[in-house]
Amino acid sequence: MSYVDEALEKVKAKNASEPEFLQAAEEVLESLRPVIEANEEKYRKEALLERLTEPDRQFKFRVPWVDDNGQVQVNTGYRIQFNNAIGPYKGGLRLHPSVNTGIIKFLGFEQIFKNSLTGLPIGGGKGGADFDPKGKSDREVMAFCQSFMTELCKYIGADVDVPAGDIGTGAREIGYMFGQYKKIKSCYEGVLTGKGLSYGGSLARTEATGYGLLYITEELMKCHGESMEGKTVVISGAGNVAIYATQKAQQMGAKVVTCSDSTGWIYDPNGIDVALLKEVKEVKRARLTEYAAARPGAEYHEGRGVWSVKCDIALPCATQNELHLEDAKLLVANGCKAVCEGANMPTTIDATKYLQENGVWFIGGKAANAGGVATSALEMSQNSERLSWTFEEVDSKLKQIMVNIYHNIDDAAKRYGQEGNYVMGANIAGFEKVAEAMIAQGVV
């Protein structure tokens, strides 16, 4: 049996109850086949794939807090430190009722390769809790964040593990967590990224994931003799990534006609009004029905449906497994040319294959959404040198990083005779640096 198959069998046997982690691990290991096969005995002897798929350590802890009625609530907190071969663990904190060990583990695993692709010295980690910030008062969110950090602070540090935002964790949550870390540790350090600008945050971090997604999409189009100008774009989600992806796409001359949240979606044939979307989602924290109510010509639909809208480019920016095989078929039938993932693992494996086999240019999340964590690493650099850079400086570095990622993944795919397979290219390019660092550092 080949070493990849052997390792895959072990991963499946060990993690049978974690479908999202298995999905992520299978995608990566399958696409590493040509690299592993070229050095089969060496990698088997090193047990490299077993080491890569087993986290360095994982923490799971109780998070008790008191709600506005005086009732004690209990959530479960997580932090998985997956791999620190190339730098301190780095990755976001997801606050969503669906969070469990398998979800955090898939996100932490993907983060290893994504972070490597940025070219910056950051390892892979992820965390979060099954807490739902929706409908909670600011005081309740603060109580949760303080309790969460009271435990998390034992495991993190500016040179150890640096968490950041993800679904449900934005500037408000990071602020409360940073305050509690500082209070307990009496230490003012860059232990979190995505901080507010008045206490060590970086300009352009808020925009970075969405902007980065558009920078790599633009480079992809350019390298195929196309531009963003005049293109129709469909985007899912209405959070941090979706909002700034929409804004940048519009700045590039494209028209974004959809957004969505967990209850429904908007079709706005005149192009999404970003200022209104921000007001509804960032300020009022309200549902998309409020967007439709305030915007003449916009339609609100219950449930899912953004992938049924005719488009040139589709950018899934909400959550994992939100673009299924039937959606991929609709996109292809409607003439969609490119799909680039702003979210983590939004496209199922069969949908990805269908898109690739039908000539759609497909860039997976590990490459396409790496702009967020890359800019987090730039925030870490600014914190270390106790300086802050201008918006333009950070934004131009972000753009360069995304353009470099495109060419690195394109080259890696070509080196293995798989031109245009950007998923394989990303997994290989991300893996090569981590594997070299792991082997150089011995069996640890």
Q: Residues in the site for ligand 2IT, rule: CB under 6 A? A: 90-92, 114, 164, 166, 193, 344, 372-373, 376
Cβ neighbors of 225 (< 8 A, separation 6 or more) are none
Query: Among ligand NDP, ligand 2IT, none, what binds residue 167 when CB lies within 5 to 8 Å by partner kind?
Result: ligand NDP
Query: Between 292 and 438, whose beta carbon lies closer to ligand NDP?
Result: 292
Query: Between 48 and 235, whose beta carbon lies closer to ligand NDP?
Result: 235
Residue 166 beta carbon to ligand NDP: minimum distance, rounded to whole angstroms: 5
Q: Which of 90, 114, 126, 366 is catalytic?
A: 126
Residue 193 beta carbon to ligand NDP: minimum distance, rounded to whole angstroms: 9
Query: Between 35 and 235, whose beta carbon lies closer to ligand NDP?
Result: 235
Query: Among ligand NDP, ligand 2IT, none, what binds residue 193 when CB lies within 5 to 8 Å by partner kind?
Result: ligand 2IT
Query: Between 92 and 190, whose beta carbon lies closer to ligand 2IT?
Result: 92
Residue position matching structure tokens 């990622």:
405
Residue 416 beta carbon to ligand NDP: minimum distance, rounded to whole angstroms: 26
Backbone angles phi, psi at 73, to 5 degrees: -115, 150
| C-alpha dist (Å) from residue 205 to 141, 184, 220 | 22, 26, 23
Query: Among ligand NDP, ligand 2IT, none, what binds residue 90 when CB lies within 5 to 8 Å by partner kind?
Result: ligand 2IT
Residue 111's CB is within 10 A of a number of other CB atoms, namely: 26
Residue 224's CB is within 10 A of a number of other CB atoms, namely: 12
Residue 166 beta carbon to ligand 2IT: minimum distance, rounded to whole angstroms: 4
**Residue numbers at the binding site for ligand NDP (CB under 6 A):** 165-168, 209, 237-242, 261-263, 317-319, 342-344, 369, 372
Query: Between 242 and 405, whose beta carbon lies closer to ligand NDP?
Result: 242
Strand partners, 232: 255
Q: Find, among 207, 221, 128, 229, the residue nearest to 169 by Cα.
A: 128
Residue 46 beta carbon to ligand NDP: minimum distance, rounded to whole angstroms: 30
What would the DSSP string read from start to end of 102-119? HHHHHHHHHHHHHHHHTT
Query: Among ligand 2IT, ligand NDP, none, what binds residue 241 when CB lies within 5 to 8 Å by partner kind?
Result: ligand NDP
Distance CA 208, CA 338 (A): 21
Query: Among ligand NDP, ligand 2IT, none, what binds residue 84 when CB lies within 5 to 8 Å by partner kind?
Result: none
Q: Find, among 139, 140, 239, 125, the residue nearest to 192 by Cα.
A: 125
Residue 126 catalytic?
A: yes
Residue 174's CB is within 10 A of a number of other CB atoms, namely: 23
Residue 335's CB is within 10 A of a number of other CB atoms, namely: 11
Strand partners, 78: 60, 128
Catalytic annotation, residues: 126
